[in-house]
């Protein structure tokens, strides 16, 4: 499985492409302001080790929400920063 902790420099700023396999902790470490999108789906324990180690797909499955919609929101949020 490819590593999903990929961030790169683009025009002098860090970017990250989020996928359904991205780890929640990596997304939060990259941009803490993404926490609102996790809270929005009912994921309130973002600091617990289990939650930070889950993929977006795993979290969405547990919380009964659409992973593709969350991925789109997160990527749009990061792109607009």
- Domain of residue 64, residue span: 18-79
Secondary structure in 3-state letters for the chain: CCCCCCEEEECCEEEECCCCCCEHHHHHHHCHHHHHHHHHCCCCCCCCHHHHHCEHHHHHHHHCCCHHHHHHHHHHHHHCC
Q: Is residue 69 part of a domain?
A: yes
The tally of domains found in the chain comes to 1
Q: Is residue 5 part of a domain?
A: no
Taking only the tens of pLDDT, the chain with its 81 residues reads 444 444 444 444 567 899 999 999 999 999 999 999 999 888 888 888 888 899 999 999 988 999 999 999 999 999 988
Q: Is residue 36 part of a domain?
A: yes
Q: Is residue 11 part of a domain?
A: no
Q: Is residue 70 part of a domain?
A: yes
CA distance 15 to 64: 28
CATH number of the domain to which 33 belongs:
1.10.3910.10
Q: Is the pTM of this model over 0.85?
A: no
């Amino acid at each position: 499985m490819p590593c999903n902790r990929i961030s790169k420099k683009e025009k002098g700023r860090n970017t990250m492409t989020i996928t359904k396999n991205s780890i929640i902790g990596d997304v939060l470490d990259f941009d803490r302001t993404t926490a609102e999108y996790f809270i929005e789906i009912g994921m309130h324990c973002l600091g617990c080790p289990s939650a930070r180690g889950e993929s977006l797909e795993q979290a969405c499955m547990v919380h009964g929400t659409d992973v593709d919609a969350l991925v789109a929101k997160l990527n749009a949020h990061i792109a607009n920063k």
